[in-house]
């Protein structure tokens, strides 16, 4: 008797029909579980925030533990169901990191399946898998993945990237407002308007504050503030795009092209590596900067070791993100650091410069350094220099930004030193005068740190400071302003016009007409919005001097946060007006208009050209 009966055609038809009959129910079941998983992804962060943001009772803690248990069960059910019912598609969608997370989640079933061992490392592993904190951390990562999938769904709906960017920033601002209102984040509470103002200022890396936040927020509140300007400095889209691509693996071509344009990657293949560069550069530079700051302040400020570490990390992140927040009352003008910590100001300046030149430039510089190290290694191994020469290592964007940054650092440093040597800098040593002049030249371009009272500056210094605020830093950086790239294109276009040239050429390259048009539109919009903002704020705050009104508006639009100590004088209507102004300054009026105004379709015809008399 043989058990290997050949399968008949009728059997194949039966399996096919059975698959067609079961598949819709499987799809419906997985969809229902996916909805529960997304709801759990929203509920879990709220529960974690409630646990760490409020003073809770034992009964409330028991309820939270039950929520954590339910979320854990939902995520396990979602993972197991997809592995069992859609293994082929799930294996195709998941990458290595996703498999590791899945295994870590499935390991939490060990305490359910096996009894607790008596002793030894196995018992410790068993207890670790049963620990609530471990489960919550793993589930939080899965919650991030699910939220990233929601973001990808928005991209798949062909949403306007400018509009998605604006909504993302707004969403993070609202979350930050709620977090700053938590009882554990403040000593004596804070109004919702001040919380909204500070959350906007942090996410938009402006640094303006209507209150003394150093005396208002607890250490937990300062951590929330730091996280807000870290996310805002790097860009909400950068973080979300990273989680989307890194955790989810394969995404649609449209989604990858969207993210490619957001981070200026050269190709779709290098997209994930570009995002890794951005996050990696940030963490490495901030870590090195924090260590450098710690070496200067160690044992000099009367802090404990952990307080020194926290001070160093906070200021390194604040400087690189061009946020301008400080844990010291009166900021960098505090007597604890002013006058005897010249290296601290230099380290902060370097971090501000690196954060302000733009991530594409950092990636380009990294590639150049790696290539030089590789050629040096070939020289050491083979005893001769590699003959193959790589041309055009520096991109056109990198050359323009680096040259303009050097000019915008050198000329203002010399000018500030000459103008304020016997005025605002009087009483300092020669070394401190040079250091503070350099610090004054760096800070206007979006960071807003101030070590010397601006009310003591000369009028010429104030005018030059305003120009630097208006220019800002590099495109796709943590800095604000109209951007160095825009300013450079404007100057080159002016030079071409004066020479009578019909094209703008630089470094043997011709600038595209779209770049010139965009730079001109950006400059025009910047001046128009600035003028309108000054007019409206002057109506809302008639008692405030016009010069103070000007710097409030300029500080908000340039995300510099520079103020003549007038932010605390704002009334509620003034604060409500400054909030959208900071939002516009961070995103740019051009980005907001592109997200709102309907784009014109490309047509294949052109009207006859006409000349308008200019001059």
pLDDT tens digit sequence for 75-122: 999 888 888 877 776 777 676 777 888 888 888 888 888 888 877 788
* Contact (Cβ atoms closer than 8 angstroms) between residue 96 and residue 77: no
Which of residues 440 and 280 earns the better pLDDT score? 440
Is the pLDDT at 213 greater than 70, yes or no? yes
List, for residues 555-575, the tens digit of each pLDDT value. Answer: 888 888 888 888 888 999 999
Q: Tell which residue, 301, 276, 442, has the closest CA to residue 359.
A: 276
Is the pLDDT at 405 greater than 80, yes or no? yes
Helix, strand and coil content of the chain, in percent to the nearest 5, comes to 70, 0, 30
Q: What is the pTM of this model?
A: 0.80
Q: Residues near 162 by Cβ (< 8 Å), separated by ≥ 6?
A: 591, 592, 594, 595
* Distance between CA atoms of residues 17 and 148, nearest Å: 36
What would the two tokens of residue 235 be?
């860009």
Mean pLDDT for the chain overall: 81
CA 172 centroid distance within chain:
11
Task: Tell me the Ramachandran region of residue 73: left when phi exceeds 0, alpha when psi lies from -120 to 50, beta otherwise.
Answer: alpha
Is the pLDDT at 175 greater than 80, yes or no? yes
List, for residues 12-62, the tens digit of each pLDDT value. Answer: 444 444 456 677 777 788 888 888 988 888 888 888 888 888 888 888 889
What would the two tokens of residue 608 be?
């006859």
* Contact (Cβ atoms closer than 8 angstroms) between residue 281 and residue 366: yes
Work out the burial of residue 259: count CB atoms within 10 Å of its CB; fewer than 13 is exposed, 13-18 middle, 19 or more buried.
buried
Give the burial string for 526-542 (b: 16+ CB within 10 Å, else e).
Answer: beebbeebbeebbebbe
Q: Please state, for a pLDDT cut of 90, what percent of the chain lies above it.
A: 18
Q: How confident is the model at residue 171 (pLDDT cuts 50, 70, 90)?
A: confident
**How does DSSP classify residue 454?**
G
Which 3 state secondary structure label does DSSP give 506?
A: strand
Report residue 400: phi and psi, to 5°.
-65, -45
């Amino acid at each position: 008797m043989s058990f290997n009966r050949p399968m008949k055609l009728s059997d194949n038809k039966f399996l096919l029909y059975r698959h067609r009959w079961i598949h819709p129910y499987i799809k419906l079941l997985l969809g229902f579980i996916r909805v529960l998983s997304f709801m759990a992804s929203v509920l879990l962060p709220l529960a974690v925030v409630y646990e760490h943001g409020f003073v809770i009772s034992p009964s409330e803690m028991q309820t939270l533990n039950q929520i954590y248990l339910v979320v854990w069960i939902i995520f396990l059910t979602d993972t197991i169901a997809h592995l069992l019912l859609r293994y082929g598609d799930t294996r195709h969608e998941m990458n290595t990191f996703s498999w590791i997370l899945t295994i870590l989640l499935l390991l939490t079933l060990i305490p359910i399946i096996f009894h607790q061992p008596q002793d030894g490392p196995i018992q410790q592993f068993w207890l670790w898998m049963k620990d609530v904190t471990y489960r919550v951390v793993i589930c939080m990562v899965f919650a991030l993945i699910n939220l990233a999938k929601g973001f990808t769904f928005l991209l798949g709906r062909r949403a306007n990237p400018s509009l998605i960017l604006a909504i993302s920033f707004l969403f993070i601002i609202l979350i930050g407002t709620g977090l700053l209102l938590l009882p554990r984040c403040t000593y004596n509470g804070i109004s919702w308007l001040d919380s909204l103002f500070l959350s906007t200022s942090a996410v938009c890396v402006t640094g303006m504050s209507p209150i003394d936040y150093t005396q208002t927020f607890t250490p937990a509140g300062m951590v929330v503030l730091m996280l807000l300007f870290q996310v805002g400095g790097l860009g909400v889209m950068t973080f979300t795009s990273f989680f989307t691509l890194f955790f989810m693996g394969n995404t649609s071509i449209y989604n990858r092209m969207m993210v490619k344009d957001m981070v200026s990657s050269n190709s779709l293949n290098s997209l994930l590596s570009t995002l890794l560069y951005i996050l990696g550069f940030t963490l490495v530079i901030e870590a090195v900067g924090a260590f450098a700051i710690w070496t200067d302040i160690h044992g000099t400020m009367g802090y404990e070791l952990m307080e020194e570490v926290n001070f160093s990390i906070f200021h390194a992140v604040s400087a690189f993100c061009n946020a301008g927040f400080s844990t010291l009352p009166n900021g960098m003008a505090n007597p604890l650091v002013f006058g005897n910590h010249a290296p601290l100001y230099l380290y902060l300046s370097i971090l501000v410069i690196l954060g302000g030149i733009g991530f594409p430039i950092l990636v380009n510089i990294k590639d150049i350094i790696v290539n030089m190290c590789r050629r040096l290694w070939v020289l050491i191994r083979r005893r001769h220099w590699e003959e193959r020469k790589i041309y055009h290592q520096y991109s056109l964007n990198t050359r323009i930004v680096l040259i303009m940054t050097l000019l915008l650092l050198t000329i203002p440093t010399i000018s500030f030193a000459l103008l304020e040597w016997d005025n605002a800098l009087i009483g300092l040593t020669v070394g401190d005068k040079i250091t503070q002049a350099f610090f004054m030249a760096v800070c206007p371009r979006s960071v807003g740190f101030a070590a010397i009272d601006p009310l003591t500056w000369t009028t010429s210094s104030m005018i030059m400071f305003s120009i630097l605020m208006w220019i800002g830093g590099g495109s796709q950086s943590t800095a604000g302003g109209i951007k160095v790239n825009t300013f450079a294109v404007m100057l080159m276009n002016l030079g071409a016009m004066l020479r009578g040239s019909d094209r703008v050429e630089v470094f043997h390259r011709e600038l595209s007409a779209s770049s010139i048009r965009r730079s001109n539109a950006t400059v025009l919009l910047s001046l128009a919005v600035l003028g309108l903002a000054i007019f409206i704020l002057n109506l809302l705050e008639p008692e405030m001097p016009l010069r103070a009104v000007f710097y409030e508006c300029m500080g908000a639009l340039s995300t510099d946060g520079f103020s003549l100590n007038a932010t605390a004088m704002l009334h509620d209507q003034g604060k409500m007006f400054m909030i959208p102004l900071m939002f516009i300054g961070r995103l740019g009026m051009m980005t907001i208009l592109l997200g709102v105004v309907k784009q014109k379709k490309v047509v294949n015809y052109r009207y006859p050209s006409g000349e308008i008399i200019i001059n």
